[in-house]
């Protein structure tokens, strides 16, 4: 394991921001991870997975540990289900495609989400009516302070909308090293009710979709709306969709009757932040090399050489305008470093 000094993180964050790590090391096994943690016990550490959910606004004055654990295997199966353990450093989308090739169902609606498997439980990733928690069984993690392994089963993870225990009670205390998923081998639960999936399938005359068809439809929709980080730096949705108490929403709705919303509980609604941002006139706007994507206003983009500070400034401008216009506070989904 080589520890590199003043290492550029440009290729390690999907925003493509130039920032340096004081020190950088990639670990390829749990033993390597434990060794590094033990050897650098009293130093500041920063854990880096796929770099797909962070905005670097400064150099990282710490030892950056890049989790590069690879491998996936079936650990148990019966006639209906298969349990797969996947290591944290596997690319999420490649893993999803592999499950679909084996005809294992459950992850197809989450095709093409950027990032690595190990970070999927942290923010309970989701798309098109599915969330990681629907297929999640457990994950193994290493305690940063004492290098002990701990298994977190689903209930312990306290999953919510883009939320989990890893963002709250045990934040910065554990490194997820592998995740176990329970997938279907037959009687797949095809879920095409969300958004544009059924329209995309109808366009291709598919009436009885397989999990592969659903995955292809999701990939086509995402490609049409969301920029590919390899071509245009971005971090997916920059903001979370705000959850607003119904009593407040009803007042806002009187002023903006066309505002979109989804009922999520008897007392709360979720409002699509993309709609708010588009209405506020930000969609497609560019400020130097930082901007708001032309096809999906939730996504902030780096046209080339934007700094993290510049993107952060745009995000603050958006937040403030949305608050002034609609009285709704929108929060970043991305971790601002």
Looking at 2-10, 89-97, 207-215, 234-242, which segment touches ligand EPU (CB under 6 A)?
234-242
Looking at 19-27, 72-80, 137-145, 269-277, which segment touches ligand EPU (CB under 6 A)?
269-277
49 binds ligand EPU (CB under 6 A): no
List the catalytic residues.
Answer: 162, 237, 333
182 binds ligand EPU (CB under 6 A): no
Interface characters, 8-47, with ligand EPU (x: CB under 6 A): ----------------------------------------
Q: Residue length, the chain?
A: 337
Contact 142, 173 (CB under 8 A): no
Interface characters, 85-124, with ligand EPU (x: CB under 6 A): ----------------------------------------
Task: Name which of residues 275 to 294 contact ligand EPU (CB under 6 A).
Answer: 275, 278, 283
Query: In this complex, which beta carbon is closest to ligand EPU, that of residue 7 or of residue 128?
Result: 128
In the complex, least distance from residue 167 CB atom to ligand EPU, rounded to whole angstroms: 14
Among 49, 51, 242, 274, binds ligand EPU (CB under 6 A): 274
Query: In this complex, which beta carbon is closest to ligand EPU, that of residue 7 or of residue 282?
Result: 282
Among 14, 119, 215, 241, binds ligand EPU (CB under 6 A): 241
Query: In this complex, which beta carbon is closest to ligand EPU, that of residue 241 or of residue 319?
Result: 241
In the complex, least distance from residue 148 CB atom to ligand EPU, rounded to whole angstroms: 32
**Three-state secondary structure readout of the chain:** CCCEEEEECHHHCCCCCCCEEEEEEEECCHHHHHHHHHHCCCCCEEEECCCCCEECCCCEEEEEEEECCCCEEEEEECCCEEEEEEECCCEHHHHHHHHHHCCCECCHHHCCCCCEHHHCCCCCCEECCEEHHHCEEEEEEEECCCCCEEEEEHHHHCCECCECHHHCCCCCCEEEEEEEEEEECCCCCCCCCCCCHHHHHHHCCCCCCCHHHHHHHHHHHHHHHCCCCCCCEEEEECECCCEEEHHHHHHHHHHCCCCCCEEEECCEEECCHHHHHHHCCCCCCEECCEEECCCCCCEEEECCCCCHHHHHHHHHHHHHHHHHHHCCCCCECCEEC
Among 142, 240, 302, 308, binds ligand EPU (CB under 6 A): 240
Query: In this complex, which beta carbon is closest to ligand EPU, that of residue 215 or of residue 241?
Result: 241
Residues near ligand EPU (CB under 6 A): 127-128, 195, 226, 236-237, 240-241, 260, 272, 274-275, 278, 283, 296-298, 333
């Amino acid at each position: 394991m080589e520890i590199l000094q003043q290492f550029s993180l440009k290729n390690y964050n999907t925003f493509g921001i130039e920032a340096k790590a004081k020190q950088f090391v990639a670990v390829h096994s749990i033993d390597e991870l434990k060794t590094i943690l033990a050897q650098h016990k009293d130093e500041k550490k920063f854990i880096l997975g796929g770099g797909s959910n962070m905005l670097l606004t400064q150099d990282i004055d710490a030892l950056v540990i890049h989790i590069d654990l690879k491998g996936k295997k079936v650990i148990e199966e019966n006639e209906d289900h298969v349990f797969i353990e996947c290591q944290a450093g596997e690319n999420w989308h490649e893993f999803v495609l592999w499950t679909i090739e084996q005809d294992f169902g459950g992850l197809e609606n989450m095709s093409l989400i950027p990032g690595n498997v190990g970070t999927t439980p942290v923010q309970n990733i989701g798309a098109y009516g599915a969330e990681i928690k629907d297929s999640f069984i457990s994950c193994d993690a290493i305690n940063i302070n004492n290098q002990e392994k701990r298994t977190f089963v689903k209930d312990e993870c306290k999953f919510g909308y883009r939320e989990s225990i890893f963002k709250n009670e045990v934040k910065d205390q554990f490194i997820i090293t592998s995740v176990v998923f329970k997938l279907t081998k037959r009687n797949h639960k095809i879920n095409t009710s969300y958004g544009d999936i059924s329209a995309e399938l109808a366009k291709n005359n598919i009436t009885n979709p397989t999990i592969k068809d659903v995955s292809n439809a999701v990939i086509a929709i995402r490609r049409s709306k969301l920029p590919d980080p390899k071509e245009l730096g971005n971090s997916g949705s920059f903001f979370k969709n705000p959850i607003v108490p119904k009593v407040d929403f009803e007042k806002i709705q009187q002023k903006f009757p066309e505002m979109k919303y989804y009922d999520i509980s008897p007392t709360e609604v979720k409002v699509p932040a993309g709609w708010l941002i588009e209405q506020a006139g930000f969609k497609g706007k560019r400020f130097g090399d930082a901007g708001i994507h032309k096809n999906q206003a939730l996504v902030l983009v780096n046209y080339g050489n934007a700094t993290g500070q510049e993107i952060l400034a745009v995000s603050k401008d958006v937040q403030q305008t949305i608050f002034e216009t609609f009285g709704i506070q929108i929060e970043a989904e991305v971790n601002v470093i």
